[in-house]
Structure 1
Amino acid sequence: MNWLHHTFQEYPELAVFLTLAAGFFIGSLRVGKFSLGSVTGVLLMGVLVGQMDIQVSANVKSVFFLMFLFAVGYSVGPQFFRGLKKDGLPQVLFAALMCVVCLVAPWLLSLMMGYNVGQAAGLIAGSQTISAVMGVAADTINQVKLSPDQKQLLINSMPVCYAVTYIFGTAGSAWLLSSIAPMMLGGIDKVRAACKELEKTMGAGDPSRDPGMRAAFIAVTFRAYSINDTSIAAGKSVQQLEAELDGRDHRLFVERIRQADKKLTDATPEYVIKPGDEIVLSGRREFILGEEAGIGAEIIDTDLLNFPVENVMVFVINKETIGKTVKELRAMEYMHGVPVQSIRRAGISMPVYPEAVLERGDNIELVGYKRDMERAIAHIGYADIPTDKTDMIFVGLGIVLGGLVGAMSIRVGGVPLSLSTSGGALIMGLVFGWLRSRHPAFGRIPEPALWVMNNVGLNTFIAVVGITAGPSFVAGFKEVGWGLFAVGIAATAIPLLAGVLMARYIFKFHPALILGCTAGARTTTAALSAIQEEVQSNLPSLGYTITYAVGNTLLIIWGVVIVLLMT
């Protein structure tokens, strides 16, 4: 054990990776539906490993923290700036007001309990589940006129308060928004009924409005059939057959034909289907199954079905598509044979209802024959071709520019104040993410790389924080005591319940949007999942994206503000 202890002290990078591995493992363990999550798991393991008195360079956590903050801004940038437009302003204003409550409630509770600056920052970070506050607050504390030992004492007190309050901050938020909040809106049955009513106005579950667009995922299949004399297709042109099927609320497409003389050809609208022909139909699986008896016997033919079909994520950037509903897009001539399988907005899956409105920067998944896909993509925007390469010029330049902006300071009462390099990286991430949505030909960060920047970036920072604070963690916990847990419950509950009341009585949002907006402003994705499960609808996600973008930005910046308020 002495050898192991000495090795970790000599090679602290090994201690960091041990903390990450063990922390992710602990964070993944579940008791019922509850788990600590990777961040809390890594922090606790960092504290444990830190008992070996391991010294890790502060530059390590700075590098990974900047990477994390840039990735956060990059992810939410499009929605942040879209929210500044007229139609998004109510949600932006709501999110801003709720974030103010998220700051004021922990601040007043900290004053009442006599907490120091570090403890107050830890309380905000844990109760509002915004781990990045610790990094931004630490940067700001380092600018205050205190001795190095005093600064380190304050910084080391943050993870203690964070760890104690984070548990209810996560699990409690999901419980409050999925169970208590619906009661404040008239009861869960009333909220569910309101969701179903809104879904109907958006065309969900109503085949007469737009068949096959009820669900967020459309299971598209390609199947081959042999046409005989009794087939409904015999003697009809491709255009006539598709129109007849569409009239039955069965949107199917004829993609390919093998004529009776064995000649293979792509389907054309005017081609007349004859007995003996073999055709390929595409569409929703249940629609094709419903028409099998009338079309003919299904056949398995590798040559007939062997043609290029693509699943492509497409950025919505063309003006002719922005603002269209899914139903309007689907009716366009260029969308023939190309269903919309899914929509993602700021990384969140959105319900694909006929009346759902497409916004700039949305990522929509199309599936279809290569020829049809190229035509549709040309009208919609830019194909996000899968790649494993990250535009590191874009990422590196963004972090550098953000850091330079954040390093600039102004003097208030003789005290130099700045956004800090971390705040600058966040702001520049917002700008660069918005630029990417406007000009997606550059600035590509694949989702796996973005995951690494977000999760490994944040958790490496947390690991170093835990290791550094390890020796003083126990003493700090004795100082704040278990009373902090009760304070954390209040700091979590007050903003959430206040948000529900503001959304209902001041902004008069729809009940589904109230829950989604409140979860978004508090950046609690776990609560969004719990809400959607409880109300049995995906509609809350419509209120989540803009408020999440605003909340993720302001709550991180509160790391600077809480230090200023407490000093």
Structure 2
Amino acid sequence: MFDWFVSTLRSYPEIALFLSLGIGYYVGGFSYKGFSLGAVTSTLIAAVIIGQLGITISPNVKSTFFLMFLFAVGYGVGPQFVRGIAKDGAPQALFAVVVTVFCLLTAWIAARVAGYHPGYAAGLYAGSQTISASMGLATDAINRLGLSPEQTKEWLDAMPVAYAVTYIFGTVGSAIVLALLGPKLLGIDLVKACKDYEARLGGGKELGGPGSVWRRFELRAYRLRSGARVAGMRAVEAEALVPDARVFVERIRRNGVIEDAKADTILQEGDIVAIAGPREILVNVIEPNADEVEDPELLDVKAEGVDIYVTSKAVDGKTLSEMAQLPSARGVFLRKIVRGATAVSIPILPDTIIHRGDILTVVGRTQDIAAAAKVIGHPDRPSDVADVAFIGGAITLGALIGALVFKVGGVPLTLSTAGGALISGLVFGWLRSVRPLFGRIPSSTVWFMNSVGLNIFIAVVGISAGPGFVKGLQTQGVGLFIWGIVATSVPLILGMFVGKYVFRFDPAILFGCCAGARTTTAALGMICETAKSQVPALGYTVTYAVGNTLLTIWGMVIIILMT
């Protein structure tokens, strides 16, 4: 039975590929006290074990899915990358450059001191910095060196060994260094720093959300009493009587007839009005001055929740408090702000600044949402359909440009097809954010291209390198792990001090900036948990966009430095 199984995998290597993915995602889904190997590391380990059976997979499979993965990465970070380079994110973008240089140099020096060849160096770098994508560019660089097939294979087989050994501390170690060790080294009370930051921006604690039956915004019906203060007022004037909150008259039942309320609608005694607003305002302010009634028909308001891509120059750079004063904002409530490659939730505070490329999740009546969308940007209603023609064309264009080779002083320089796909994703991702009329890729599709694309690449690498993995781990394992600790910790510690004393970032966002520059989402989660606040995420997006791009490219650079 086992012989049949092995023979089948050798004859149909695609089965081995999907087996690696299945095991990898299953094992990667387990966690212990917040720590998990993750899908990438689990898939690599599973593939290496399966690779012991001597399975051969065409390298074209690896290249195809890697191009898909890199394009998805660029597509996701494009808006924040361009904004970070061109506008007010310049200090954070520059900081990310500095941190990524620390990451490259530390790994390079460690590899030199340890006496590793370029294959181990690239794996040490990729694992310690948890930047799996860099191995693709490192692979391209090694293949272009013109080495003998035996030496090329030796270096390529060593790469996943070093990656697997150093990745574990690269993940959990970065979270410990930034979230636990960092605040103590710099003498920062992270919880207090975040509270102070929120206080300066006029923020408070946000309750409710998924999993809670409490809702911040509600719709209730009230009958206007005889002699009611608001009788004779326009709806917008009545709403202004509650200056510290957003409340809106949505509908009115008058003489048994229901009609939608507009800003100029005159309220009359005996009207039953449907009022939307924060729950505490409806309960504590409205209810004592009006009689709440049950009117299901009146409260049956056609509403929707829509993601709006911010594309308008008119609102770019405005604070939420400024946007709330716009006439088109009447009747619209903001539930969520998403920014950046990893969909980081930005705190909703009065002084939170909105940028082009942000995604605002708003709720309200359909007509109010339509009016707001005209001013803010482009409404992106849910759809499962991806623009595959755009995906194929964009990857093709990027790969063709990347395939061009230029010689400078006799030295061939090229982005490679992988680098071209990444740049293409950056450009088209940014264009999509400012002109979202083409190139729609649903978030589920982006996830598939990003996660599955990378893991198929990793599975092919692991299966191909499987036979040489055990031997390499036995001879280099302990040393690699120790050098991995050094390569992970030193750049982060240096980055924290540079961020505080050179760039002078606010302590509340400093560690978020460091996590973004090192593209370690696990660390950001622990930082926010330690801070008991989402404020550190404000420093994550721009630095992540720059860091993710440069750390990937450094995979090629470290091969150049080592040869």
**TM-score between both structures, scaled by the size of structure 2:** 0.95
**Residue of structure 2 in register with 1:565 after alignment:** 561
**1:447-493 Cα deviation digits (max 9, x unpaired):** 00000011011111111111111111101111213121111011000
Residue 161 of structure 1 and its aligned partner are, at CA, apart by 0.7
> Which range is displaced more, 148-157 or 219-228?
219-228
**Residue of structure 2 in register with 1:301 after alignment:** 295
Quote the Cα distance in structure 2 between the aligned partners of 1:251 and 1:232: 19
Quote the Cα distance in structure 2 between the aligned partners of 1:545 and 1:271: 43
* Aligned partner (choices 425, 431, 436) of residue 432 of structure 2: 436
1:406 maps to 2:402 = yes
**Residue of structure 1 in register with 2:246 after alignment:** 251
Q: 1:301 to 1:15 in 2, by over 3 A?
A: farther
* Aligned partner (choices 310, 334, 357) of residue 361 of structure 1: 357
**Residue of structure 1 in register with 2:212 after alignment:** none
**Residue of structure 2 in register with 1:345 after alignment:** 339
Q: CA contact under 8 A between 1:330 and 1:339: conserved in structure 2?
A: no
Q: CA contact under 8 A between 1:215 and 1:351: conserved in structure 2?
A: no
Question: Structure 2: any 5+ residue segments left out of the alignment?
Answer: 210-214
The secondary structure found in structure 2 opposite 1:354 is coil
**Residue of structure 1 in register with 2:277 after alignment:** 283
* Aligned partner (choices 238, 252, 261) of residue 235 of structure 2: 238
**Residue of structure 2 in register with 1:19 after alignment:** 20
The secondary structure found in structure 2 opposite 1:342 is strand
**1:149-199 Cα deviation digits (max 9, x unpaired):** 211111111111111111110011111110111112213x3x332322221
Quote the Cα distance in structure 2 between the aligned partners of 1:232 and 1:497: 62
Q: CA contact under 8 A between 1:225 and 1:295: conserved in structure 2?
A: no
Q: CA contact under 8 A between 1:143 and 1:417: conserved in structure 2?
A: no
Quote the Cα distance in structure 2 between the aligned partners of 1:542 and 1:300: 42
Quote the Cα distance in structure 2 between the aligned partners of 1:134 and 1:401: 22
Residue 564 of structure 1 and its aligned partner are, at CA, apart by 0.6
**Residue of structure 2 in register with 1:225 after alignment:** 222
Quote the Cα distance in structure 1 between the aligned partners of 2:455 and 2:283: 48
**Residue of structure 2 in register with 1:325 after alignment:** 319
**Residue of structure 1 in register with 2:194 after alignment:** 195
**Residue of structure 1 in register with 2:536 after alignment:** 540
* Aligned partner (choices 441, 444, 459) of residue 445 of structure 1: 441
Quote the Cα distance in structure 2 between the aligned partners of 1:544 and 1:465: 30
Quote the Cα distance in structure 1 between the aligned partners of 2:160 and 2:293: 64
The secondary structure found in structure 1 opposite 2:89 is helix
Structure 1: which amino acid aligns with 2:186? L
Q: CA contact under 8 A between 1:127 and 1:492: conserved in structure 2?
A: yes
1:517 maps to 2:517 = no
Q: CA contact under 8 A between 1:216 and 1:352: conserved in structure 2?
A: no
Structure 1: which amino acid aligns with 2:247? L
Tell me how many residue pairs correspond in the alignment: 555
**Residue of structure 2 in register with 1:208 after alignment:** none
Cα-Cα RMSD: 1.9
**Residue of structure 1 in register with 2:502 after alignment:** 506
Quote the Cα distance in structure 2 between the aligned partners of 1:409 and 1:272: 71
Question: Structure 1: any 5+ residue segments left out of the alignment?
Answer: 206-212
**Percent identity, aligned pairs only?**
49
Q: CA contact under 8 A between 1:178 and 1:531: conserved in structure 2?
A: yes
The secondary structure found in structure 1 opposite 2:530 is helix
**1:418-470 Cα deviation digits (max 9, x unpaired):** 22111111111111111112211111111000000110111111111111111
Q: 1:436 to 1:270 in 2, by over 3 A?
A: closer
Residue 317 of structure 1 and its aligned partner are, at CA, apart by 1.2
Q: CA contact under 8 A between 2:165 and 2:477: conserved in structure 1?
A: no
Q: CA contact under 8 A between 2:338 and 2:345: conserved in structure 1?
A: yes
Quote the Cα distance in structure 2 between the aligned partners of 1:389 and 1:22: 29
The secondary structure found in structure 1 opposite 2:88 is helix
Quote the Cα distance in structure 2 between the aligned partners of 1:56 and 1:285: 59
Alignment of 1:25-44 (within 5 A): 25-44=26-45
Q: 1:45 to 1:266 in 2, by over 3 A?
A: same
Quote the Cα distance in structure 2 between the aligned partners of 1:546 and 1:271: 45
Structure 1: which amino acid aligns with 2:218? T
